[in-house]
Amino acid sequence: MSLDNPGNKNSISVFQLRELRQAGAPHVLLDVREADELAICAIENAVHIPMAEVPQRLGELPADTPLVVMCHHGMRSLRVVNYLRGNGFNNAVNLDGGIDAWAAQIEPAVGRY
Protein backbone atom coordinates (compact mmCIF):
# COMPACT_ATOMS: atom_id res chain seq x y z
CA MET A 1 0.00 0.00 0.00
CA SER A 2 1.36 3.39 -0.90
CA LEU A 3 0.13 6.90 -0.28
CA ASP A 4 2.82 8.56 -2.38
CA ASN A 5 0.21 10.34 -4.44
CA PRO A 6 -3.13 10.43 -2.61
CA GLY A 7 -4.59 12.76 -5.24
CA ASN A 8 -8.16 13.61 -4.30
CA LYS A 9 -8.39 10.81 -1.79
CA ASN A 10 -9.17 12.41 1.57
CA SER A 11 -9.18 9.35 3.82
CA ILE A 12 -7.85 5.87 4.44
CA SER A 13 -9.16 2.97 6.48
CA VAL A 14 -7.55 1.53 9.58
CA PHE A 15 -6.72 -1.53 7.48
CA GLN A 16 -4.80 0.62 4.99
CA LEU A 17 -2.93 2.28 7.85
CA ARG A 18 -2.06 -1.13 9.27
CA GLU A 19 -0.65 -2.11 5.84
CA LEU A 20 1.49 1.05 5.77
CA ARG A 21 2.82 0.39 9.26
CA GLN A 22 3.49 -3.30 8.64
CA ALA A 23 5.30 -2.54 5.39
CA GLY A 24 7.42 0.13 7.05
CA ALA A 25 6.25 2.56 4.38
CA PRO A 26 7.18 6.19 5.01
CA HIS A 27 4.34 8.11 6.63
CA VAL A 28 3.60 10.32 9.60
CA LEU A 29 0.62 9.63 11.86
CA LEU A 30 -0.64 12.92 13.31
CA ASP A 31 -2.86 12.63 16.39
CA VAL A 32 -4.89 15.84 16.84
CA ARG A 33 -6.67 14.81 20.05
CA GLU A 34 -6.28 16.63 23.35
CA ALA A 35 -3.69 15.58 25.94
CA ASP A 36 -6.33 14.08 28.26
CA GLU A 37 -7.52 11.83 25.42
CA LEU A 38 -3.96 10.86 24.58
CA ALA A 39 -3.46 9.80 28.20
CA ILE A 40 -6.28 7.24 27.79
CA CYS A 41 -4.97 5.59 24.64
CA ALA A 42 -2.56 6.24 21.80
CA ILE A 43 -1.00 4.61 18.75
CA GLU A 44 2.73 4.09 19.02
CA ASN A 45 4.96 6.59 17.19
CA ALA A 46 2.17 9.06 16.44
CA VAL A 47 3.04 12.77 16.47
CA HIS A 48 0.76 14.65 18.85
CA ILE A 49 -0.36 18.16 17.94
CA PRO A 50 -3.77 19.14 19.34
CA MET A 51 -6.18 20.39 16.69
CA ALA A 52 -6.14 23.99 17.96
CA GLU A 53 -2.33 24.12 17.68
CA VAL A 54 -2.05 22.84 14.11
CA PRO A 55 -2.12 26.31 12.44
CA GLN A 56 0.80 27.53 14.56
CA ARG A 57 2.79 24.31 14.10
CA LEU A 58 2.55 23.72 10.34
CA GLY A 59 6.34 23.93 10.13
CA GLU A 60 6.59 20.69 12.11
CA LEU A 61 4.62 18.73 9.52
CA PRO A 62 6.05 17.08 6.42
CA ALA A 63 4.80 18.20 3.03
CA ASP A 64 6.54 15.40 1.14
CA THR A 65 5.63 12.32 3.21
CA PRO A 66 2.14 10.83 3.54
CA LEU A 67 0.46 12.45 6.53
CA VAL A 68 -2.32 10.42 8.16
CA VAL A 69 -4.39 12.55 10.54
CA MET A 70 -6.44 10.96 13.32
CA CYS A 71 -8.63 11.86 16.26
CA HIS A 72 -11.17 9.87 18.30
CA HIS A 73 -13.75 9.06 15.60
CA GLY A 74 -12.50 10.94 12.55
CA MET A 75 -14.49 14.17 12.55
CA ARG A 76 -11.92 16.57 13.99
CA SER A 77 -9.17 14.99 11.95
CA LEU A 78 -11.23 15.46 8.77
CA ARG A 79 -11.46 19.17 9.58
CA VAL A 80 -7.69 19.25 10.09
CA VAL A 81 -7.12 17.43 6.77
CA ASN A 82 -9.30 19.99 4.98
CA TYR A 83 -7.34 22.80 6.65
CA LEU A 84 -3.99 21.20 5.80
CA ARG A 85 -4.97 20.63 2.18
CA GLY A 86 -6.08 24.25 1.96
CA ASN A 87 -2.59 25.18 3.10
CA GLY A 88 -0.67 23.11 0.59
CA PHE A 89 -0.45 19.77 2.39
CA ASN A 90 -1.89 17.62 -0.39
CA ASN A 91 -0.26 14.64 1.32
CA ALA A 92 -2.77 14.75 4.22
CA VAL A 93 -5.45 12.06 4.58
CA ASN A 94 -7.95 11.34 7.33
CA LEU A 95 -8.02 8.07 9.26
CA ASP A 96 -11.63 6.89 8.92
CA GLY A 97 -13.08 6.07 12.33
CA GLY A 98 -10.06 7.41 14.20
CA ILE A 99 -8.39 5.68 17.09
CA ASP A 100 -11.72 4.14 18.10
CA ALA A 101 -11.86 2.17 14.82
CA TRP A 102 -8.17 1.27 15.22
CA ALA A 103 -8.84 -0.14 18.70
CA ALA A 104 -12.03 -1.95 17.63
CA GLN A 105 -10.68 -3.48 14.41
CA ILE A 106 -6.88 -3.60 14.56
CA GLU A 107 -5.36 -3.32 18.03
CA PRO A 108 -7.78 -3.96 20.94
CA ALA A 109 -5.00 -3.43 23.48
CA VAL A 110 -5.01 0.27 22.58
CA GLY A 111 -8.25 0.67 24.54
CA ARG A 112 -11.38 2.65 23.88
CA TYR A 113 -13.28 5.51 25.47
Instruction: Supply the residues annotated as catalytic.
Output: 71
8-state DSSP, 64 = S
CA 33 to the chain's CA centroid: 10
Measure Cα distances from 54 to 21, 41, 95 in Å: 23, 20, 17
